[in-house]
Amino acid sequence: MNPNEITGARLKKLRTDNGLNQQEFAEKFSEFVGRETVLSVMTISNWETGRKLPPADTIIWISRFYNASADYILGLSNEEVTDPKAPKDKKKITSISSQIEIPFSELSKYNGQPVFLTFPSGTMAAQWALLDYNKKLLICRDMKIALSPSIKYSITTPPELVTIQSLAHHFIGFEDMMKMEHVYVESLSPDPYLRGQISGWYHHTPNKTCLVNELGMTLSYEGIDVAYRVLDSKKSPKK
């Protein structure tokens, strides 16, 4: 079963476990997120069959609607959500937030990719850099920095730092985005938690049907300038 089918099966299970048919879910979920129009049953069906995946911000809203782990929905965990009021000794479910940080020992897996840097005690501003693991260097916009275990490395912008942006705020349109291999996405959600989960570096799927990040979270192309904006990364450092 491919990842899309796993997510689809879990969305269907969550819906049926809550005693909802597709139309009822579409109505209740649309009201929950404050949509002006109700999601179509066809959209729900496409999600549940795996033909299409919900955008990343929608998955987070679905996890809140069902009180279910986004990891479970994405197939990253086999555990559904636990009641937030449950005893603290109950087994903790790994969240997407906990997967943001990259252990220093695993940096080699991200060679040539953008990583977000948070420096100790605010010695430098948090920022994005390209990782050149072979040379043990971090290539920032204006400088090169040696790898150090004292730096915190992340694959997306930590929620508490979501307002920090190292790239110039010049936004691009759909046609320019399609020409780029990696793009930086800035979420337009008013929720700072959602912005922290969604904002970050994405690339196109092989058949160019949507954007996807290192967590497997997807953004539909239709969401550009609606749910997110794409920043011009031409000025970002190159290897």
Judge whether 208 lies within some domain.
Answer: yes
Strand partners, 219: 211
pLDDT in tens, 20-56: 999 999 999 988 888 778 989 999 998 988 888 888 7
**How much is the mean pLDDT over the chain?**
77
Where does the pLDDT of residue 2 fall: very low under 50, low under 70, confident under 90, or very high at 90 and above? low
pLDDT in tens, 141-178: 778 999 999 999 987 766 555 543 433 345 788 888 89
Same domain for 150 and 185, yes or no, is no
Judge whether 163 lies within some domain.
Answer: no
The candidate with the shortest Cα–Cα distance to 59, out of 83, 29, 99, 27, is 29
The pLDDT > 70 percentage for the chain reads: 76
Same domain for 48 and 20, yes or no, is yes
Separation between Cα atoms, residue 13 and residue 116, nearest integer Å: 35
* The total number of structural domains that make up the chain: 3
pLDDT at 82 over 60: no
pLDDT in tens, 194-205: 677 788 888 999
pLDDT of residue 96: 40
Q: And the tokens for 197?
A: 């989960």
Residue 77, judged by CB atoms within 10 A of its CB (0-12, 13-18, 19+), counts as middle
Same domain for 137 and 190, yes or no, is no
Judge whether 95 lies within some domain.
Answer: no
Same domain for 111 and 140, yes or no, is yes
Same domain for 175 and 144, yes or no, is no
Same domain for 145 and 206, yes or no, is no
Judge whether 165 lies within some domain.
Answer: no
The residue among 87, 120, 155 that closes a domain is 155
Judge whether 66 lies within some domain.
Answer: yes
**DSSP assignment letter at 136:** T
Separation between Cα atoms, residue 61 and residue 194, nearest integer Å: 9
Same domain for 8 and 59, yes or no, is yes
The residue among 130, 155, 180 that closes a domain is 155
CA distances to 116, 146, 200, 225, 229 from 184, in Å: 12, 23, 6, 13, 8
- Expressed as residue numbers, the domain containing 197 is 171-231
**Is residue 94 left, alpha or beta, with left meaning phi > 0 and alpha meaning psi from -120 to 50?**
beta
pTM: 0.41
Same domain for 8 and 67, yes or no, is yes
Judge whether 214 lies within some domain.
Answer: yes
Judge whether 57 lies within some domain.
Answer: yes
- Residue 208 CA neighbour count, 13 Å, CB half: 8
Judge whether 160 lies within some domain.
Answer: no
Where does the pLDDT of residue 88 fall: very low under 50, low under 70, confident under 90, or very high at 90 and above? very low
Backbone angles phi, psi at 117, to 5 degrees: -110, 130
pLDDT of residue 98: 46
- SS3 category, 133: helix
Same domain for 222 and 196, yes or no, is yes
Where does the pLDDT of residue 94 fall: very low under 50, low under 70, confident under 90, or very high at 90 and above? very low
pLDDT of residue 149: 93
pLDDT of residue 125: 82
pLDDT at 207 over 50: yes
Separation between Cα atoms, residue 74 and residue 59, nearest integer Å: 8
